[in-house]
């Protein structure tokens, strides 16, 4: 019956539809629908919803930010329905490179027009100021003298830190570029009758289907630490769990859920949290429970990240709480589960003092921060990833921390990186020395940009982590992108809120599909020894043998994590 269909004309784009919708936190964002002419009929092929992203919006600017967001989405809708709709009509949805090139040229043109408008406005302002410059200049002199005196007091060597780089401006309407590029990719996959992750993998490997594929390991957020009073701890933004590599994704998620349930029980008010297993009889249990009791400042709220919100008074408290929860259900951190911490250090810098405020009233210089992290990992060796431990401007300290800890911990740049479209400079990655980068598919990011950048990161032995933005949507395409580009980790937030759980469900579905097709390749995680030059000798004990996989199906077996400094039992199932 379908014999003659193979002789029909290939589907082409006939219409793009953009509309304003709401994301998972109620913020306006963009939805793009792709219509194609298939066998002479117009047919809606797919749609995609972009995730909104805001960089630490302040309460006093909330009104302006909301107006700016609305204006940006409205402009994006206008671009899609008018300019991009006319520009991409009659193109094949499978020609991703051509589409992305046209989108890039259109965006560049819009940026140039914006610069011309800003230049004209600045010239008008300067002309106005030139007419009224006499009176302000007479008043400015005394002010300059007054400002000079405190300047002398604060001119100390410890404050000589690199200034913060200017905030990267986002062009109004840029959502249209990223949304259209991703929607075209989804349409191409649908037309080709293959999953999106396989379609992305073919694009990355020049149309060759990989024989085997790996899944990214999830960084599951369990705690979101508030940085407002009465909590004193400011350094930690997220505490995340990373399942061990010998578990399947499904087994790892189930284990994380068990720990999450125990965390919620431990954070119950004292009168309610009396039942359940405790480790108070052992010395270790007493120490952990002491840390837990000191932490009971939990708020029975779920953050926009899909995890519990809590407050802490010290850096050790959330770590001891996680340790207690694992011990209570018979698990051991460092063997049965690992931790990652999102430090978000860029939020902590006091530019008057030139130091990071890690606790209320406690400040540390960039060099002292490196020493603190070294001490922290020596005390808690089950931490295998630190995200944004420093600002991106502190490049020398990034070098120091990578040489000190890179062989036993992933040191990842998230805010310390930049937007995907601006990371590439002359085929180089313009970021500090680090183990890898958290990439977010936002604004003017195109699918081709993401594929090209992950290829550059692979060539530099840096890992790729795909992260979900703050304002996440129910669109699960991010998971397919992560699998398709071969990301090492995926950072989706917690196991609550529908827009985040949807993505975990998609990841589980891909694992099941790859396992069924026997194309799930064994993952190989290893840390980067940045200081290898100064330590050329390698001992056989540096790489421990993989665990036995007798109890697991062959498609779920994965080799061991190569960790040099983790002190694990000899019979450990994870090395």
Q: Where are the alpha helices (DSSP H) in 307-440?
A: 316-328, 366-379, 395-405, 420-423
Sign of CA dihedral 476, 82, 203, 175: negative
Q: Confidence class of residue 121 from pLDDT cuts 50, 70 and 90? A: confident
Q: Residue 573 has what DSSP assignment?
A: S
460 touches 16 (CB < 8 A): no
How many Å apart are CA 126 and CA 488, to the nearest integer? 50
**94 or 554, greater pLDDT:** 94
Residue 385 structure tokens: 């990833």
R_g of the chain, CA atoms, integer Å: 26
Lowest mean pLDDT among 22-26, 259-263, 555-559: 555-559
Q: Beta partners for 35?
A: 15, 44
Instruction: Give the model confidence (pLDDT) of 200-214 as tens digits.
Output: 999 999 877 888 999
How many Å apart are CA 391 and CA 527, to the nearest integer? 22
Q: Which residues are catalytic?
A: 443
End-to-end Cα spacing for the chain: 56
Residue 182 has pLDDT above 70, yes or no: yes
**9 or 94, greater pLDDT:** 94
Residue 262 has pLDDT above 80, yes or no: yes
pLDDT at position 148 is 43
Q: Confidence class of residue 227 from pLDDT cuts 50, 70 and 90? A: confident
Structural domains of the chain in order of their starting residue, each with its CATH number: 9-56+65-119+170-193 (3.30.390.10), 195-268+296-517 (3.20.20.120)
Residue 571 has pLDDT above 70, yes or no: no
Write the DSSP string, 528-546. --TTTTT-----GGGSPPP
pLDDT at position 461 is 86
Instruction: Give the model confidence (pLDDT) of 293-336 as tens digits.
Output: 444 455 557 888 889 988 888 999 999 999 999 999 999 999 99
Residue 551 structure tokens: 């109890």
241 touches 247 (CB < 8 A): no
Residue 76 has pLDDT above 90, yes or no: yes
Residue 518 has pLDDT above 80, yes or no: yes
Instruction: Give the model confidence (pLDDT) of 249-259 as tens digits.
Output: 999 999 999 99
Q: Confidence class of residue 158 from pLDDT cuts 50, 70 and 90? A: low
How many Å apart are CA 403 and CA 433, to the nearest integer? 10
- Max mean pLDDT among 198-212, 266-280, 414-428 falls in 198-212
How many Å apart are CA 503 and CA 49, to the nearest integer? 13
Residue 232 structure tokens: 């004193």
Q: Confidence class of residue 29 from pLDDT cuts 50, 70 and 90? A: very high
The candidate with the shortest Cα–Cα distance to 93, out of 224, 184, 212, 198, is 184
The candidate with the shortest Cα–Cα distance to 335, out of 567, 522, 494, 565, is 567
pLDDT at position 75 is 96
Instruction: Give the model confidence (pLDDT) of 126-136 as tens digits.
Output: 888 877 765 54
3-state helix, strand, coil in the chain (%, to 5): 40, 20, 40
What average pLDDT does this structure show over 178-199? 96
Write the DSSP string, 186-236. HHHHHHHTS-HHHHHHHHHTTTPPPS-B-PPEEEEEEEEE--STT--B-S-
């Amino acid at each position: 019956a379908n014999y003659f269909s193979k002789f029909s004309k290939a589907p082409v784009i006939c219409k793009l539809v953009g509309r304003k919708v709401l994301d998972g936190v109620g913020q306006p964002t963009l939805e793009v629908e792709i219509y194609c002419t298939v066998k002479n009929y117009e047919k809606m092929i797919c749609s995609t919803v972009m995730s909104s992203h805001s960089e630490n919006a302040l309460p006093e600017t909330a009104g302006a930010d909301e107006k700016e967001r609305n204006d940006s989405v409205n402009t994006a809708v206008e671009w899609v329905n008018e300019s991009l709709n006319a520009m991409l009509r009659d193109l094949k949805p499978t020609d991703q490179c051509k589409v992305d090139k046209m989108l890039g040229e259109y965006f560049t043109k819009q940026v140039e027009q914006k610069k011309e408008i800003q230049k004209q406005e600045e010239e008008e302002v300067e002309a106005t100021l030139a007419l009224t410059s006499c009176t302000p200049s007479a008043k400015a002199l005394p002010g300059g003298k007054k400002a000079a005196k405190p300047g002398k007091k604060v001119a100390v060597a410890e404050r000589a830190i690199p200034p913060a780089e200017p905030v990267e401006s986002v062009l109004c309407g840029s959502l249209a570029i990223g949304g259209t590029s991703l929607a075209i990719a989804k349409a191409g996959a649908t037309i080709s009758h293959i999953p999106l992750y396989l379609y992305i993998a073919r694009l990355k490997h020049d149309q060759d289907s990989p024989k085997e594929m790996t899944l990214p390991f999830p960084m599951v957020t369990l705690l979101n630490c508030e940085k407002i009073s009465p909590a004193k701890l400011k350094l930690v933004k997220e505490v995340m769990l990373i399942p061990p590599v010998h578990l399947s994704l499904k087994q790892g998620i189930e284990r994380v859920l068990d720990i999450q349930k125990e965390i919620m029980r431990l954070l119950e008010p004292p009168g309610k949290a009396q039942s359940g297993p405790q480790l108070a009889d052992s010395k270790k249990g007493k120490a952990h429970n002491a840390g837990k009791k000191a932490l009971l400042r939990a708020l029975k709220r779920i953050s926009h990240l899909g995890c519990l919100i809590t407050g802490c008074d010290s850096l050790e408290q959330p770590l001891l709480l996680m340790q207690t929860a694992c011990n209570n259900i018979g698990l051991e951190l460092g063997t049965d589960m690992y931790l990652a911490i999102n430090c978000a250090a860029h939020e902590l810098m006091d530019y008057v003092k030139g130091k990071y405020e890690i606790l209320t009233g406690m400040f540390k210089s960039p060099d002292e921060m490196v020493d603190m992290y070294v001490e922290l990992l020596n005390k808690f060796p089950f931490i295998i990833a630190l995200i944004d431990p420093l600002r991106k401007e502190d490049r020398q300290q990034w070098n120091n921390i990578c040489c000190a800890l890179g062989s036993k911990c992933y040191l990842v740049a998230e805010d310390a990186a930049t937007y995907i479209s601006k990371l590439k400079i002359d085929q180089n990655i313009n970021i500090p020395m680090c183990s890898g980068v958290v990439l977010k598919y936002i604004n003017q990011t195109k699918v081709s940009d993401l594929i090209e950048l992950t290829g550059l990161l692979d060539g530099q032995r840096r890992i790729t982590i795909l992260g979900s933005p703050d304002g996440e949507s129910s669109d699960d395409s991010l998971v397919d992108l992560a699998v398709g580009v071969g990301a090492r980790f995926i950072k989706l937030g917690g196991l609550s809120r529908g827009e985040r759980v949807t993505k975990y469900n998609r990841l589980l579905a891909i694992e099941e599909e790859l396992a069924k097709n026997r194309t799930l390749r064994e993952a190989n995680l290893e840390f980067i020894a940045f200081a290898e030059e100064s330590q050329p000798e390698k001992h056989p004990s540096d790489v421990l043998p993989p665990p036995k996989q007798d109890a697991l199906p062959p498609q779920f077996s994965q080799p061991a994590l190569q960790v040099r400094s983790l002190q694990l039992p000899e019979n450990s199932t994870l090395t």
